[in-house]
Amino acid sequence: MPAIMPLFWHMLMVGWITQIIIGVSIWMFPGRNREEGFKAQKWGWLTFIFLNAGLVLRVISEPLVSISTSETWKTLLVVSAILQLVAGFTYFTEMWSRIMSKKQQREKRKRQRERSKK
């Protein structure tokens, strides 16, 4: 039972709250790429894949690590930790340049328009 408590908290805080924040911010923050598809929105897709793969692996392996000595579960738990951290980095990469003032946003749009004219 004690092995279940961290899972409960992380399914709530990572699987629900953090994931909804990430999803809504990718949609609502300025500078979104409106083109659809994996290539156009690769950092968002990678965040989604890494975060959920990491969390699912954790849900499977963490309780088993506490009751088994198998190396498989230990390795999967390490992989889950790395995947979730990588999701943090991909989300950071997507968002950092999108945090901008209205003036910066206007300048960015102007640059994009000039580039598309050429």
Partner 1 sequence: MPAPSRWMIRLALIYLLAGMAMGAMLLIHKAYPITPAVWMLLPIHIEVTIFGWIIQLTLGTAYWMLPRYIEGPPRGRPLLAAGMVLALNLGILLVIIDTLIMVSFPLQLTGRMLELMAVGLFIFLHWNRIVTYRTKKA
Please identify, using beta-carbon distances, which residue of 25 and 52 lies nearer to partner 1: 25
CA gap 75, 56 in Å, rounded: 14
Shortest Å, Cβ 67 to partner 1: 13
Nearest to 72 by CA among 55, 85, 60: 60
Q: Does 70 bind partner 1 (CB under 8 A)?
A: no
CB-based burial label for 114 (10 Å; 0-12, 13-18, 19+): exposed
- Of these, 11, 49, 77, 108, which contacts partner 1 (CB under 8 A)? 77
Q: Which region, judged by CB under 8 A, interacts with partner 1, from 38-46, 83-91, 109-117?
A: 83-91
